[in-house]
Amino acid sequence: MRPVTVFCAAGLLMVLFYSAGCGKKESVPKQFTLAIPPGLEQLEPVIPVDNPLTQAKVVLGRKLFFDERLSLDATVSCATCHIPLLGYGDGRTTSMGVYGLRSTRNAPTLINRVFGKTQFWDGRAASLEEVVLEHMVAANDMRNTPERLVSALTPDETYSQAFTEIFGAIAAETVAQAVAAYVRTIVSGDSPYDRFMAGNTDALDESAQRGMALFNSERTNCATCHAGPNFTDEQFHSNGAGMDSPSPDPGRVTQTGNESERGRFKTPTLRDVTRTAPYMHDGSLRSLKDVIRFYNQGGIAHPNLSAQVKPLHLSTQEQTDLINFLRSLRGSNSFQPGSS
């Protein structure tokens, strides 16, 4: 496991926080060592210079992640839509916010987002901090306001002390920084696939090995978009999912205004994909079998359909082999508070 020190000790790197008028730095910040599991060593963590990881900040962020007081009616936390046992998804077609209100999109996994450069299905956020801030105030999510958030958390002495020591005071921006810090520790690797690639030939059975060969072949083009150690190119593509509905989600075009990006969505990681059903931006595919069948038929016709998406003519056995390979990507993703 590769340790990556992402915050140097006091005297080497001191970062001031200017958020809602708060400028106090952590008095004695302990460096946080992000444990990079086998298989992800080639990836570089993306840590904003204005929100370096420290041990205290990550612990605070984890507490906030599970706190329903972040929402207007104190019924919804980050973990409502990002459940650890479900690969930090929620198992629903589309996520649910306060008062039972539904989002229009499936809750994406938070696994390995520390390596991501764009956020959301349409890439509208450049950082996890922006994601948290948006969810706290979005009408169909937490529906809160910065003022109500501060009022809800301030009476908690544990929070008041922690925020004072780390940031200077409680504010919506510092809440977002703490939660984002915790999310960056959610990593998954050291899967059977990773052990096989490291030389353990017994880590994958014959079916999974055949599936891996298919996955990486020009016949399927899977690895073109689900590329690299994190199995995503972090780019936007259209496979036609949902485009046959009466009111299809426009996708990436809402951010760029470029009609060629209508119906395009960000490629999700396939790490721990067995935990994150249902699939696609609209949660329209309930199982991995459905996903393979969808691609086997060539997706759904659409003017912006990616060139890589085409009928595959896979046999039943080949479809099973691909699924068994995808199952081999299930790794470890437990919270680790780090060490100095």
- Measure the CA–CA gap between 39 and 1, rounded to whole angstroms: 9
pLDDT attached to residue 231: 98
Q: How confident is the model at residue 333 (pLDDT cuts 50, 70, 90)?
A: low
Residue 31 backbone phi and psi in degrees, to 5: -65, 145
Residue type at 314 in one-letter notation: L
Enumerate the β-bridge partners of residue 96.
102
Q: How confident is the model at residue 332 (pLDDT cuts 50, 70, 90)?
A: confident
DSSP codes joined into one string, 143-212: ---HHHHHHHHTT-HHHHHHHHHHTSS--HHHHHHHHHHHHTT---B--HHHHHHTT-TTSS-HHHHHHH
Asked if the domains at 2-183 and 192-327 fall in one CATH topology, the answer is yes
Tell me the pLDDT tens digit for each residue of 124-161: 999 999 999 999 999 999 999 999 999 999 999 999 99
Tell me the pLDDT tens digit for each residue of 304-326: 999 999 999 999 999 999 999 99
pLDDT of residue 339 exceeding 50, the answer is no
Q: How confident is the model at residue 7 (pLDDT cuts 50, 70, 90)?
A: very low
pLDDT attached to residue 17: 33
- Measure the CA–CA gap between 294 and 290, rounded to whole angstroms: 6
Q: Tell me the mean pLDDT in the region 204-224.
A: 97
CATH topology of domain 192-327: Cytochrome Bc1 Complex; Chain D, domain 2 (1.10.760)
pLDDT of residue 20 exceeding 50, the answer is no
pLDDT of residue 334 exceeding 70, the answer is no
- Could you tell me if 180 and 116 are in contact, meaning their C-beta atoms sit under 8 angstroms apart? no
Q: Tell me the mean pLDDT in the region 149-174.
A: 97
Q: How confident is the model at residue 4 (pLDDT cuts 50, 70, 90)?
A: low
pLDDT of residue 13 exceeding 50, the answer is no
Q: How confident is the model at residue 28 (pLDDT cuts 50, 70, 90)?
A: low
Q: How confident is the model at residue 33 (pLDDT cuts 50, 70, 90)?
A: confident
- Could you tell me if 305 and 247 are in contact, meaning their C-beta atoms sit under 8 angstroms apart? no
Q: How confident is the model at residue 32 (pLDDT cuts 50, 70, 90)?
A: confident
pTM assigned to the model: 0.90
Cβ neighbour number for residue 140 with a 10 Å cutoff? 17
- Could you tell me if 325 and 212 are in contact, meaning their C-beta atoms sit under 8 angstroms apart? yes
- CB burial of 114-136 (b: ≥16 within 10 Å; e: otherwise) equals bbbeebbbbbebebbbebbbbbb
pLDDT attached to residue 30: 81
Instruction: Report in angstroms the alpha-carbon separations of 104 from 79, 131, 286.
Output: 18, 16, 16
pLDDT of residue 9 exceeding 70, the answer is no
Using only the alpha carbons of the chain, give its radius of gyration: 21
> Which residues lie below 8 Å from residue 126, measured CB to CB, with a gap of 6+?
117, 118, 119
- Measure the CA–CA gap between 215 and 140, rounded to whole angstroms: 37
| Mean pLDDT estimate for the chain | 91
Cβ neighbour number for residue 285 with a 10 Å cutoff? 20
| Domain edges within the chain | 2-183, 192-327
Peptide bond into 278 cis (omega under 30): yes
Tell me the pLDDT tens digit for each residue of 249-301: 999 999 999 999 999 999 999 999 999 999 999 999 999 999 999 999 999 99
Closest CA to 39 of 208, 189, 235: 189
Of the listed ranges 13-17, 179-183, 237-241, the least confidently predicted one is 13-17
pLDDT attached to residue 31: 80
Q: Is CATH 1.10.760.10 the classification given to domain 2-183?
A: yes
Q: Tell me the mean pLDDT in the region 186-198.
A: 97
